[in-house]
């Protein structure tokens, strides 16, 4: 009986038929997957989240346990970096917070962007910030700002000011530092920490539901603790606390990306300056510890050259490349940095 069935099977050529059906099904699956992959890469929507955590020296971020940052960089990379321009050159810039933010935002040093301290702010809006570049593209890009220091938006970025381009952010969470009714019972240190917490919560909410194309989160607590206590257990605790905020932000991005498979998120976390060598309480000068910073990313596209640490001004062109922004020629000519991301066909890849 079994023998007869085998003969029948062979005589009808069904084994060959079956084999060819299985083969063509397999080929179809491969072709399908290839088509799907090429669709995904063709349609991938670039998104960028920039994060500054204030005043964390490189030796501290490397010594203290930061599981949040570790999860982020396990997908990408971590590198030493620097702020402060070139020592003794026209680009030399104070290692001060607002100066650092401006260098990140405009891709230039203080001789150009004109912010040299945290007060008497008079940014030169001729040096466009990256959000202005985003708003000048042919297609519309949405922007978000989540910041413990309101002046970042209203002064440094000139939100809505005609001389700064006139565009406004689509999503904003700031103003708490200037609002006397926000947690009035806390002392100033705890109050700023509570604002960082609220700013993070709002950023997470917006990333989750809106997925802004380009956004910036600024958190301050670590710098306050540094000024108050200098190097030591309080600073380490502040770093661990702010690392938990980074973990919240990264979880939001990861969840968002899992749900929106076409989105391609670049996350760049950095600090605006180091701290003094003697006690970690101060900054502003050109010592190695004040100038040395770090950049962490989730992205494998970011290439750090181990022999030449990146500068904070490299972030602007990197974001522009990731987002496929066209940078107006006059803006491009002023840039001090070089992209850490290289894409075929883009000008900065040369
Ligand atoms: Zn700072």
263, 341: one domain: yes
Ligand 1 centroid–CA 54 distance in Å is 5
Please give the chain's pLDDT, 350 residues, in tens: 455 555 445 555 555 555 665 556 655 555 554 444 444 455 799 999 999 999 999 999 999 999 999 999 998 999 999 999 999 999 999 999 999 999 999 999 999 999 999 999 999 999 999 999 999 999 989 999 999 999 999 999 999 999 999 999 999 999 999 999 999 999 999 999 999 999 999 999 999 999 999 999 999 999 999 999 999 999 999 999 999 999 999 999 999 999 999 999 999 999 999 999 999 999 999 999 999 999 999 999 999 998 999 999 999 999 999 999 999 999 999 999 999 999 876 654 33
Q: Which residues contact 181 (CB under 8 A, 6 or more apart)?
A: none
14, 89: one domain: no
The pLDDT of residue 34: 47
The pLDDT of residue 207: 98
24, 83: one domain: no
Checking DSSP bridges between strand 171-173 and strand 143-147, what pairing results, if any? parallel
Pairwise CA distance, residues 215 & 146, whole Å: 8
Contact call for residues 158 and 186 (beta carbons, < 8 A): no
Ligand 1 centroid–CA 95 distance in Å is 8
In a domain, 40, yes or no: no
118, 184: one domain: yes
Looking at the 3D structure of the chain, how many domains does it have? 2
Q: How far is CA 238 from CA 161, 225, 271, 317, in A?
A: 35, 7, 14, 31
In a domain, 98, yes or no: yes
Tokens of 314: 């490299």
Ligand 1 centroid–CA 292 distance in Å is 13
3-class SS at 151? helix
Ligand 1 centroid–CA 295 distance in Å is 15
The pLDDT of residue 296: 98
Pairwise CA distance, residues 346 & 268, whole Å: 20
154, 265: one domain: yes
Ligand 1 centroid–CA 283 distance in Å is 8
Contact call for residues 284 and 96 (beta carbons, < 8 A): yes
DSSP string, 241-261: HHHHHHHHHHHHHHHHHHHST
Ligand 1 centroid–CA 203 distance in Å is 20
Q: Which residues contact 137 (CB under 8 A, 6 or more apart)?
A: 325, 326
Ligand 1 centroid–CA 101 distance in Å is 9
31, 175: one domain: no
Q: How far is CA 350 from CA 66, 337, 345, in A?
A: 36, 14, 9
Q: Which residues contact 157 (CB under 8 A, 6 or more apart)?
A: 105, 129, 131, 145, 164
In a domain, 340, yes or no: yes
Ligand 1 centroid–CA 185 distance in Å is 25
28, 68: one domain: no
In a domain, 295, yes or no: yes
In a domain, 24, yes or no: yes
29, 71: one domain: no
In a domain, 206, yes or no: yes
Contact call for residues 199 and 174 (beta carbons, < 8 A): yes
224, 186: one domain: yes
What CATH number is given to the structural domain containing 229?
Answer: 3.40.720.10
Pairwise CA distance, residues 312 & 325, whole Å: 19
Ligand 1 centroid–CA 74 distance in Å is 26
Pairwise CA distance, residues 36 & 275, whole Å: 49
The pLDDT of residue 23: 56
22, 135: one domain: no
Ligand 1 centroid–CA 170 distance in Å is 26
- Domain residues for 145? 45-349
Ligand 1 centroid–CA 96 distance in Å is 6
74, 214: one domain: yes
Residues with CB under 5 A from ligand 1 (ion): 54-55, 97, 223, 272
112, 17: one domain: no
Ligand 1 centroid–CA 117 distance in Å is 10
In a domain, 22, yes or no: yes
The pLDDT of residue 343: 87
Tokens of 43: 């349609």
In a domain, 345, yes or no: yes
Ligand 1 centroid–CA 273 distance in Å is 6
């Amino acid at each position: 009986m079994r023998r007869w069935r085998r003969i029948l099977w062979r005589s009808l050529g069904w084994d060959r038929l079956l084999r060819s059906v299985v083969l063509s099904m397999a080929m179809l699956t491969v072709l399908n997957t290839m088509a799907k992959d090429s669709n995904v890469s063709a349609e991938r929507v670039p998104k960028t989240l920039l994060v500054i955590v204030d005043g964390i020296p490189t030796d501290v971020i490397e010594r203290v346990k930061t599981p949040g940052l570790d999860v982020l960089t396990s997908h990408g990379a971590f590198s030493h970096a620097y702020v402060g321009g070139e020592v003794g050159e026209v680009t030399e810039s104070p290692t001060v917070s607002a100066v650092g933010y401006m260098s990140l935002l405009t891709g230039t040093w203080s001789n150009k962007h004109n912010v040299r301290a945290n007060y008497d702010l008079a940014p030169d809006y001729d040096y466009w910030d990256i959000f202005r570049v985003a708003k000048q593209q042919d297609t519309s890009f949405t922007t978000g700002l989540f910041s413990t220091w309101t002046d970042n938006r209203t002064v440094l970025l000139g939100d809505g000011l005609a001389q700064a381009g006139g565009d406004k952010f689509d999503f904003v969470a700031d103003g708490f530092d200037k609002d006397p009714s926000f947690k009035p019972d806390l002392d100033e240190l705890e109050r700023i920490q509570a604002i960082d917490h609220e700013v993070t919560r709002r950023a997470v909410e917006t990333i989750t539901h809106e997925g802004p194309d380009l956004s910036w989160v600024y958190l301050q607590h670590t710098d306050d603790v540094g000024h108050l206590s200098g190097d030591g257990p309080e600073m380490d605790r502040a770093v661990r606390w702010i690392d938990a905020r980074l973990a919240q932000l990264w979880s939001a991005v990861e969840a968002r990306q899992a749900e929106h498979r076409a989105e391609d998120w670049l996350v760049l976390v950095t600090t605006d300056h180091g701290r003094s060598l003697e006690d970690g309480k101060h900054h502003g000068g050109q010592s190695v510890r004040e100038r040395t910073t770090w950049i962490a990313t989730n992205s494998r596209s970011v290439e750090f050259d181990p022999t030449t640490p990146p500068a904070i001004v490299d972030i602007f062109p990197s974001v522009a490349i990731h987002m496929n922004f066209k940078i107006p020629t006059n803006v491009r000519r002023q840039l001090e940095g070089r992209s850490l991301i290289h894409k075929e066909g883009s000008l900065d890849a040369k």
